[in-house]
Amino acid sequence: MAAPPAASGAPITEKRQLVEYIAAGSKPPSAWRIGTEHEKFAFSRGDLRPLPYEGPSGIGALLGGLTEFGWQRVEENGNVIALARDGASVSLEPGGQFELSGAPLETIHQTCDEVHRHLAECRTVGDRLGIGMLGLGFNPKWARADIPWMPKGRYKIMREYMPKKGSLGLDMMLRTSTVQVNLDFESEADMVKKFRVSLALQPVATALFANSPFSEGRPNGFRSYRSHIWTDTDPDRCGTLPFVFEDGFGFERYVDWMLDVPMYFVYRDGRYIDASGQSFRDFIAGRLPARPGEIPLMSDWVDHMTTAFPEVRLKKFLEMRGADSGPWARLCALPALWVGLLYDGTALDAAWDLCRDWSPAEHAALRADVPRHALATPFRGETVRELAGRVLAIATDGLRRRARLSRGGEDETTHLDALHRIVERGRTPADDMLEAFATRWGGSVDPAYVEEAY
C-alpha cells in the first residue's frame, strides 16, 4: 500500500456491506483496465549492498530525486514513504524493494510505456546517487540481517507477528520481489470463472517467470525461491484457496474467508495500532480488544483486505500474484499473459476447459513442486513446459482477437515473445542464471547485479 489509509467511509455493522463493497467493482468490458505492479531491489553500485532509508544515497534520497519528474510526496511521520502521479504510485516494501503500482491502463502497450518511463526516471536519479536497480525474485546475495527496514508503521507490527506463523515470513517481507497485474470482472459469475482459471494456472506463471535461484550467494535448490517462501509465511492468509473451486463460491464466500483472516492493525490518528491475531468479526461486533467498543469503518475493511496473500487476491478486482520480478520485457509479458487469458471470452472458455477437471490434489501438487522444478515439473504424463505452451497459445489468440495496436501497428501478442522463447527452449531465466553461475560467473552472483539490472 502506497500510503496510510485515512479512517473513512460508512460504519460497518453487517457482512452485507462487505459483500456489496466487492461487488461494486463489477464493470462492463468497455471499462476494464490493466494495472501492473512490479518491485525491484535498489542497491549501492559501489558495494552492491541494499540501501538504508537514510543518507545521501538512501531510499529517501531516491524518492526525493524522483519528485523532479512530477511525482508528489506521500509522508508518514515526517518520512517520504511513497510518491503519486497520474493514478500511479511508487512505494516501498519492508526491505526497501522499490515498487511501481501503475495506473489503470487500456492496453499492454501503454503498460510498457509506463514501465519504460519509470525505469528511465529511476536510472536518471540512480546515476546521480550511485544507485542501481535489480530485477530478480529474491535477493541473491544478502542475508536477512543485512537488509535495512523501511520506516513504515505497519511493517513493525508485521515484523513482530510473522515469526509466530511461519519461518519464512520475514524473508518474504525483506528479500522478495514480484510483478503482478490487477484485472477487472463484469459480474459475480465472471469473477468466479476468472478467479478459478487464474488460481489454477498461477503455477504456470510461476514456472515461466522463475527467476530466484540464489540465496546468500549460492544456489538454493529452487527455480522460484520467492514462490516457495509463501508456503511457509502464514497459513491463515496464504495459499491456493481450495474453496474457490467449490459449488456456491462467490463474493460472500470470499468475504467469509477474509473475516477469518486474523488482523494485523487498525490505523487511527496517524498511527498503526497493533491488532495482530485479532478478529475482524469481533471488530464488527464492537469487541475488538485493540479498540473496545468501536466498530470498523469501510476504510478498515479495505485495509484488512490488503493483508491477505493468496496466489490470487480479490478486492474490487483480481490480482495475479504468482510471478517473480524480472527484466523490462517480462514486466510487460506478465500482464500480456493474463489479459490474453482473461479479457477475451473465447480464451477464458478455453483456459477453463484446460483446467476445470483438475483435482484439489493436482492443484496442491503444482503449487508445491513448481517452485523447485518450474517447467520440468511433471503433470498428467507430461511436464509444465507442455502445459505452458498450451496456455501461451490460448493467451496469444486472446490478445490477437483484442486487436489493440501500438503506434507502430503491432498487436499485444508481441509482448509474449519473451515467454514463447522460454517455452521453446525449455529453460527458465533461473536455469540460465544457474548455468552462468557455474561457468562464466565463476561461482559468484555479483555479475547478476550487472546483467539483471535495469
Q: What is the pLDDT of residue 28?
A: 98
Question: For 316-334, what is each residue's pLDDT tens digit?
Answer: 999 999 999 999 999 999 9
Is residue 343 predicted with pLDDT exceeding 50? Answer: yes
Instruction: Specify if 37 maps to a domain.
Output: yes
Number of domains in the chain: 1
Residue with cell 514462490: 227
Q: Which cell numbers in the block locate residue 67?
A: 519528485
Report how far Cα 235 is from the mean position of its chain's Cα atoms. Answer: 18
* 286 vs 200: CA distance, rounded Å: 38
The string of pLDDT tens digits covering residues 90-131 is 999 999 999 999 999 999 999 999 999 999 999 999 999 999
The closest of 367, 67, 361 to 205, measured between CA atoms, is 367
DSSP tag of 297: B
pLDDT at 422: 98
Closest CA to 21 of 392, 315, 450, 367: 315
DSSP at 50:
B
pLDDT at 5: 54
Domain CATH number, residue 382:
3.30.590.20
Domain membership of residue 45 (yes or no) is: yes
Nearest to 398 by CA among 444, 448, 439, 341: 341
Q: Give the pLDDT mean for 131-150.
A: 98
Q: Quick check: is 20 in a domain?
A: no
**What does DSSP assign to residue 212?**
B
* In contact, 343 and 333? CB cutoff 8 Å: no
Domain-located, residue 284: no
Which residue, chain included where needed, has cell 462467490?
Answer: 250
pLDDT at residue 156 above 60?
yes
Q: CA-CA distances (angstroms) from residue 87 to 25, 71, 102, 334, 370? A: 17, 11, 7, 20, 35
Give how far Cα 294 sits from Cα of 11, 195, 219, 280, Å: 10, 34, 50, 12
Query: Is residue 9 situated within a structural domain?
Result: no
Note the pLDDT of residue 110.
Answer: 98
- Spatial contact of 226 and 137, defined as CB atoms under 8 Å apart: yes
CA 430 and chain centroid, separation: 19
Residue 1: predicted pLDDT: 45
Residue 97 lies in a domain: yes
C-alpha distances in Å from residue 364, one per residue of 182, 240, 311, 320 = 24, 8, 12, 17
Structural domain includes residue 178: yes
Asked whether residue 398 is domain-assigned, the answer is yes
Cβ of 14: how many Cβ atoms within 10 Å?
8
Q: What is the overall mean pLDDT for the chain?
A: 97
Tell me which residue range forms the domain holding 222: 31-261+308-435
